[in-house]
Amino acid sequence: MKKNLFKVAIAMLLLAGCAKNQTEPEFSSEIIAKKAQMANADLLATATIDAGTIQQTIKGFGGANIVAWTGDLTSAQRNTAFSPTSGIGLSIVRVRVPNSSSEFAAEKATIDACKSFGGSAIASAWSAPASMKTNGSIVGGKIKTTSYANYAAHLSAFNTAVGGLAAISPTNEPDYKVNYESMELTASEVADFVAARGSNCGALIMAPEPFQMNQTYINTYLSNATAKSKTSFVCGHIYGKTPYNLGNIGKPVWMTEHYTNSSISGDDWSNAMTAAKEIHDCMNSGWSAYVWWYIRRSYGPISESGNIQKVGYVMAQYARYVRPGFNKIACSENPSTGVYVTAYKSGTKLVVVIINQNAATTYQSFNFSGITISGFNRYFTTSSANLSTNSFAVTGSSFGINLAPSSVTTLVSY
C-alpha cells in the first residue's frame, strides 16, 4: 500500500513539474532517468527513435502556384514561401502545364526562386491542348491516341521552357469529372500514354494523380508493366481520404494536392493543427512529399497580402528543418495520448517533429539509438507563438520535454 502511495506521490510531483512551465523543455536526461525509475513505467510513455532503421527519403513539402488562375507570387512572397531561414521553407512548387506554349515562360520565375533555395518544381497537366483531344475541348475528353507523340512533345517543351522539372504528370485527377479544364481518363488510358510516350515528356513521370489516392486506380495503372517502368513516382491527392500505406508498390509516393478547408482562414489555429496532423499522417504512411494547394490563398500558408498564416507556420515546422534528401526513420508514432511523432535524419543530424493535440502541457520522454547527439535546438508553434526557439543539452541516449498545449514542436540536433 505504501509503495502504491509513493508511486502516486511521484506522479503528482511529475505533473506539477510539467504544469509550472508550459513552454520550456525538461532538459536533464539524468533527472528523467531517475524519475522513470521511481514511477510506474506507464506514467512516462517513452517514444523510441531508431535512427538505424531508414524508411522513406523525403522529397519535400510544398504548394501550388498557378499563374494563369491566381497570378504569380511576388519576389517578396517567393522568399516568404521558399526561404528556410526567413520564410516557410517550402521545397516544392507545383505548377500547371499551360495549354499554349505562349504561357510557358510565365511559370519560370517562381520555379527559379524555389530552386534557388534548394527546392524543386513539379508540374501537372489539367488538359492537353484542345486540338490533341477527342472532344476538341480543354474540358473533359481524352487524349487522341494519334496525338500521343505531339502531347509528349508539348510536355517536353514546357520542361525545357521552365529550365527543368523534378517530375511531370500527364494528367491531373483523371478520375474526377468536372466542368473546368480537365481530362477524363481511365487508369489504363493514362498507362497507355505513359507506356507509349513516357520517355519523351522531358522530365521524370509522376502518375497517375487520382483524386482520392485511389489504390484500385493506382494498382490498375501500375499493372501495365511498361508504364510502371517509365514511372518514377506514384502520386495522388487525398480529398476525402485519410492517408494510408499503399503497400509495396516499388515507387516513392507523393501527395501532390490537398487543402483542409477553403472556408476557414489559414490563420485559424484549429485548422492549422488539422493540417499538422495530416502532414504527420502522410509521412507516417510512408509518403515522401506533401504538397498543399495554393501557396497564396486566404486558407493557405500565405495570405493574399503575403503574410505567413498559421497553416504556413505549421508547415514550416516540417519544411524548414526536414529538407530534401532527409530520411524518415523509425519512431513511435503515437507514444502518448494526443502526442504524434515523426523523426528524420541526414548524416549525423536528427530532426524530430512532435504534435501535441492535448489542451494541457504534456510531458514526453524519448530514447534514441543509432545516432549520437549532444543537444537540440527547439522550435515550437502554438496559437500564440510562431517558431519560438530555445535549446537544451542531452546526455546519453534519452531526454524528455514539456510540450506546450495544442502545439507543434521541432527538435533539431546539434
Q: 312 near 302, Cβ under 8 Å?
A: yes
- Which 3 state secondary structure label does DSSP give 8? helix
Q: 389 near 379, Cβ under 8 Å?
A: yes
Whether 173 is a known active-site residue: answer yes
The alpha helices in 175-332, defined as continuous H runs, are: 187-197, 215-222, 225-229, 269-284, 310-319
Report residue 380: phi and psi, to 5°. Answer: -145, 145
| Catalytic site residue from 184, 189, 257, 278 | 257
Rounded distance, CA 379 to CA 341, Å?
15
**What does the DSSP 8-state code read for residue 252?**
-
Please confirm whether the linkage preceding 208 is cis (ω < 30° from 0): yes
How large is the angle between the packed helices 29-38 and 2-19, nearest 10 degrees? 150
Sequence-ordered list of residues with C-beta below 8 angstroms from that of 333, at least 6 positions apart, any chain: 284, 340, 341, 342
Sequence-ordered list of residues with C-beta below 8 angstroms from that of 143, at least 6 positions apart, any chain: 128, 132, 133, 134, 151, 170, 183, 185, 189, 193
Q: How many CB atoms lie within 10 A of CB 3?
A: 7
Dihedral sign for Cα atoms in the order 391, 396, 397, 403? negative
Whether 107 is a known active-site residue: answer no
Q: 97 near 123, Cβ under 8 Å?
A: yes
| Catalytic site residue from 26, 173, 181, 209 | 173
Find cell 504561357 and name the residue.
103
Active site residues: 173, 257
